[in-house]
């Protein structure tokens, strides 16, 4: 049985992943034509490489269709139900860093913490005739985080792009979004709450707990993990 | 199923109206009131026009909407039917039956609320008795007493509201206490202009500062938080920065919430507590006493009634009493109920329409096949 490794099919995640694999002694051969999605690793016929989109990788890992894969922790935690029972976040890879955060308008000078946001959310309905609205594409992470902070009364407005513009557009009051430097947040006159960091995300090497593992696959996994770990660059 | 016909007979005998509640319901009223957390637990779908619908997750909200649609002043309603909710344990479709007492003059914490509180509890116990459940226990809590305590402690309003929301959620309550114990909850912004405005507690200057910030960010000025609202809360928060919860207040709050006594001793316990802590709790004690007496008198000999001071549900529409009824041989409640004076307003009623009700989990009754 071959060990199947999923690698992001485009962008910085792909470039960083290929570089890491090459440095670790696992040079990845790209698909023969541009539309292909199957790669390979030189001299290792027992390893297969699948090029997939980063969110597909999380799903395929959870379903056990691939053994290992590289994707952002945010995508895995957002898109997979009970992620820790199906995935093992084995290695942080030192690239693709970004935080999933709660941000409010800078003008809300009185709102600095989640406790403040709780106060504001509680009186929204009686003051403005509607619940507080949160724009995000991270439904699950938002629900869990807000529920952990005891905040129940709000509505999520689905946002599939330019989430940071939602408060100015009037489609939401606050946002939950991903940011690496915070500059987009600041440029939109928003601020991150002091305790509003939901997740420090980065690219992870994730091992599927639901894929079928035989002895040789486990051995190949262990060797690969060890080689990658030695070559991760911590910034 | 025998329980269902028994309960339906009981409801018919009591002459409660039984509204027709469709299986498919608009999802928004449920999500707007109970919050986004419910989304994971209900079964949703869309109609061709794009409206989000769900399988009936419970009856109280549709019954309230029916009451509103009929423009009734006062109504007693009963229901019995299937509800659909995703549960970790147990099937996702199950039967619930219950009663709602909506409208009239019965606001939480008033003398008038006592008879409908007692009516609700005795009807719940009678309904269970028709299903053969004559033994068990009932746990009762009362948010109105907790709120009276917060007033007696002379806590600032902003803190009272926060703690009121945490009633029934001990973790949230402890987090709030920690927040009030720390002295760093002022405004942290380093903007010098804002600091100057706050130093003099100048509301107009703070408002101007916020107006400016909102304009820079092109935030809408209507339909959401206004500059004045933000300025007022900013000043309140800055004002509270110097205030700290005293060790005595903390001790009283924790001591109160740990009270759990038989209903027969509840009044004595509450009087003793308020005397010991030197609290002036006003009418709350008298109302509590009258109700406790009537509850104790109204329940059967084989039902144990307990007052648990921290029992309640941490959602903003619950007010006044809450209760749960247990079998002697199972830790999960067979019935839950309570007062929800703010719900009708959330559902679109003008002003407040007080209400109370209960719901029975039929599949948790003894010998139920469900």
* Mean predicted confidence (pLDDT) in A180-202: 95
Task: Please tell me the distance from the alpha carbon of residue A211 to that of residue A4, in angstroms, as a whole number.
Answer: 10
pLDDT of residue B370: 40
- CA B115 centroid distance within chain: 19
Handedness of CA B195, B197, B201, B203 (dihedral sign): negative
Contact B217 A173 (CB under 8 A): no
* Chain A residues with CB-CB distance to B31 below 8 A: 155
The residues, ordered by sequence, that sit 6+ positions from B288 with a Cβ below 8 Å of its Cβ are B142, B144, B145, B266, B267, B270
**Phi, psi angles (nearest 5°) of residue A135:** -90, 130
Question: Looking at CA atoms only, how far is residue A181 from chain B in angstroms?
Answer: 20
Residue B53 vs residues B31, B49, B121: alpha-carbon distances, Å: 11, 11, 33
> Would the CB atoms of B219 and A116 count as touching at under 8 Å?
no
The span from the CA of B201 to the CA of B211, in Å, is 17
DSSP per-residue codes, chain A: -PEEEEEESSHHHHHHHHHHHHHTT-PEEPPSSTT--EEEETT-TTEEEEEE-HHHHHHHHHHTSSSEEEEEHHHHHHHSSSHHHHEEEEEE-S-S-EEEEEEEETT-TT--SHHHHHHHHHHHHHHHSS--EEEES-HHHHHHHHHHTT----EEEE-SS-GGGHHHHTS-SEEEEEESSSHHHHHTTEEEEEEEEEEEE-EEEEEESSS---HHHHHHHHHHHHHHHHHPPP-
Residue of B nearest to A113 (CA): B185
pLDDT at B368: 67
Work out the minimum CA distance from B249 to partner chain A, whole angstroms: 21
Are the Cβ atoms of B225 and A120 closer than 8 angstroms?
yes
Pick among A102, A110, A134 to test the B interface (most B CBs inside 10 A): A110
Q: Is A120 on the interface with B (CB under 8 A)?
A: yes
CA distance B279 to B149: 8
Task: Tell me the C-alpha to C-alpha distance, in Å, between residue A86 and each of A58, A74, A82, B255.
Answer: 10, 15, 7, 44
pLDDT band at A56 (very low <50, low <70, confident <90, very high): very high
Number of neighbours of residue A180 by Cβ within 10 angstroms: 12
Q: Between chains, do A115 and B176 touch, taking CB under 8 Å as contact?
A: yes
Whether residue B370 contacts residue B138, with contact meaning beta carbons closer than 8 Å, is answered with no
Q: What is the mean pLDDT of chain A?
A: 93
> Any CB–CB contact under 8 A between A164 and chain B?
no
Side-chain-side CA neighbours of residue B168 (13 Å): 25
pLDDT at B282: 81
- Which residues in chain A have Cβ-Cβ distances shorter than 8 Å to B194? 109
Chain A CB contacts of B316 under 8 Å are 122, 125, 153
Exposed / middle / buried, residue B358 (Cβ in 10 Å: 0-12, 13-18, 19+): buried
Alpha carbon of A147: minimum distance to chain B alpha carbons (Å) = 7
Could you give the C-alpha distances from A135 to A178, B37, B186, B226, in angstroms and in order?
A: 12, 16, 28, 19
User: What is the model's pLDDT at position B263?
Assistant: 93
Asked if B263 and B292 touch (Cβ cutoff 8 Å), the reply is yes
Task: Say which residue the tokens 């053969």 belong to.
Answer: B132
| pLDDT tens sequence across A137-157 | 999 999 999 999 989 899 999
Residues 167-196 on B with a CB inside 8 Å of A are 169, 171-172, 175-176, 179, 187-189, 191, 194
Average pLDDT for residues A63-79, to the nearest whole number? 96
Of B94, B11, B30, B19, give the one whose Cα is nearest residue B369: B94
pLDDT means per 10 residues, chain B with 370 residues, are 90 91 96 88 92 96 95 93 89 95 91 93 96 94 94 91 92 89 72 85 92 94 93 89 87 95 93 90 88 88 94 89 95 96 91 95 78
CATH class for the region spanning A3-96+202-231 = alpha beta
The secondary structure element, H or E, covering residue B138 is: strand B136-142
Nearest to A109 among B161, B166, B189 (CB): B189
CB-CB under 8 Å, B39 with A109: no
Interchain contact, B316 vs A153, CB within 8 Å: yes
Write the ipTM: 0.86
Domains of chain B: 1-134+337-370 (3.30.930.10), 192-240 (no CATH)
b/e per residue A1-27 (b: at least 16 CB within 10 A): eebbbbbbbeeebbebbbebbeebbbe
Contact present, B334 and B327 (Cβ < 8 Å) = yes
**Could B225 and A118 be called an inter-chain contact, meaning their C-beta atoms sit closer than 8 Å?**
no
> Which chain B residues in 312-331 lie under 8 Å from chain A, judged by CB atoms?
314-316
Q: What is the pLDDT of residue B184?
A: 60
For residue B1, the model assigns a pLDDT of 62
**Residue whose C-alpha is closest to residue A14's, from A48, A67, A50:** A50
Q: Testing the interface with A: which of B176, B233, B238, B341 to mutate, by most A Cβ within 10 A?
A: B233
Whether residues B227 and A107 touch (CB distance < 8 A) is answered with yes
Q: Which residues of chain A does CATH 3.40.190.10 include?
A: 3-96+202-231, 98-200
DSSP B191-219: -HHHHHHHHTT-HHHHHHHHHHHHHHTT-
Cα separation, B88 vs B101, whole angstroms: 31
CA B282, B286, B287 angle in degrees (round to 5)?
105
What is d(CA B347, CA B34) in angstroms, rounded to the nearest whole number?
A: 11
In sequence order, the 6+-apart residues with CB closer than 8 A to the CB of B178 are none
Q: Which residues contact B219 (CB under 8 A, 6 or more apart)?
A: A105, A107, A167, A168, A189
| Fold type of domain A98-200 | D-Maltodextrin-Binding Protein; domain 2 (3.40.190)
Instruction: Tell me which of B217, B221, B318 to substitute to probe the interface with A (most A C-beta atoms closer than 10 Å).
Output: B217
* Token pair recorded at residue B201: 């507690």
Chain B CB contacts of A152 below 8 Å:
34-37, 314-315
């Amino acid at each position: 049985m071959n060990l199947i490794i999923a690698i992001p099919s485009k962008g910085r995640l792909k470039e960083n992943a290929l570089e890491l694999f090459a440095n670790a002694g696992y040079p990845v051969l790209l698909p023969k034509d541009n539309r292909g999605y199957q790669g390979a690793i030189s001299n290792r016929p027992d390893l297969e490489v699948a090029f997939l989109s980063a969110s597909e990788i999380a799903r395929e890992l959870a379903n056990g269709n691939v053994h290992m894969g590289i994707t952002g922790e945010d995508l895995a935690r957002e898109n997979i139900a009970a992620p820790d029972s199906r995935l093992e976040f084995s290695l942080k890879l030192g690239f693709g860093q970004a935080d999933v955060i709660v941000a409010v308008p800078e003008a809300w000078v009185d709102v600095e913490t989640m406790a403040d946001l709780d106060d504001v959310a509680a009186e929204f309905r009686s003051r403005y005739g509607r619940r507080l609205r949160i724009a995000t594409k991270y439904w699950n992470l938002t629900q869990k985080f807000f529920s952990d902070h005891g905040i129940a009364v709000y509505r999520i407005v689905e946002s599939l792009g330019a989430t940071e513009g939602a408060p100015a557009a009037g489609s939401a009051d606050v946002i939950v979004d991903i940011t690496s430097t915070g500059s987009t947040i600041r440029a939109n006159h928003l601020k991150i709450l002091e305790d509003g960091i939901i997740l420090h995300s980065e690219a992870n090497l994730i091992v599927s707990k639901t894929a079928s593992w035989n002895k040789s696959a486990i051995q190949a996994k262990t060797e690969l993990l060890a080689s990658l770990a030695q070559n991760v660059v911590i910034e | 199923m025998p329980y269902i016909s028994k309960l339906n007979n009981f409801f018919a005998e009591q002459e409660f109206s039984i509204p027709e509640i469709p299986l498919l319901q608009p999802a928004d009223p449920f999500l707007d009131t109970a919050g986004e957390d419910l989304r994971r637990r209900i079964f949703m779908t869309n109609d061709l026009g794009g409206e989000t619908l769900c399988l009936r997750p419970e009856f109280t909200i549709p019954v309230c909407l029916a009451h509103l649609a009929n423009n009734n002043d006062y109504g007693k309603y009963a229901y019995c039917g299937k509800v659909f909710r995703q549960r970790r344990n147990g099937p996702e479709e199950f039967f619930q039956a219950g009663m709602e007492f909506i409208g009239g003059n019965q606001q939480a914490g008033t003398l008038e609320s006592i008879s409908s509180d007692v009516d609700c509890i005795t009807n719940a116990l009678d309904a269970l008795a028709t299903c053969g459940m004559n033994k068990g226990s009932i746990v009762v809590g009362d948010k109105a007493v907790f709120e009276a305590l917060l007033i007696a402690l002379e806590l600032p309003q902003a803190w009272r509201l926060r703690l009121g929301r945490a009633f029934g959620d001990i973790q949230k309550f402890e987090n709030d206490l920690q927040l009030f114990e720390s002295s760093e909850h002022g405004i942290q912004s380093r903007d010098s202009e804002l600091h100057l405005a706050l130093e003099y507690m100048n509301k107009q200057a703070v408002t101007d500062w916020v107006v400016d910030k909102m304009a820079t960010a092109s935030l809408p000025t209507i339909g959401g938080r206004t500059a004045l609202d933000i300025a007022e809360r900013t000043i309140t928060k800055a004002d509270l920065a110097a205030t700290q919860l005293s060790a005595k207040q903390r001790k009283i709050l924790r001591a109160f919430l740990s009270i759990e006594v038989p209903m027969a001793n509840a009044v004595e316990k509450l009087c003793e507590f308020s005397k010991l802590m030197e609290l002036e709790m006003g009418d709350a004690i008298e109302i509590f006493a009258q109700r406790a007496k009537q509850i104790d008198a109204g329940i059967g000999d084989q039902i144990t009634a307990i007052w648990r001071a921290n029992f309640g549900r941490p959602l903003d529409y619950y007010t006044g009493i809450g209760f749960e009824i247990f079998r002697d041989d199972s830790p999960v409640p067979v019935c839950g109920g309570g007062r929800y004076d703010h719900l009708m307003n959330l559902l679109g009623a003008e002003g407040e329409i007080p209400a109370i009700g209960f719901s029975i989990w039929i599949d948790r009754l003894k010998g139920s096949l469900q």
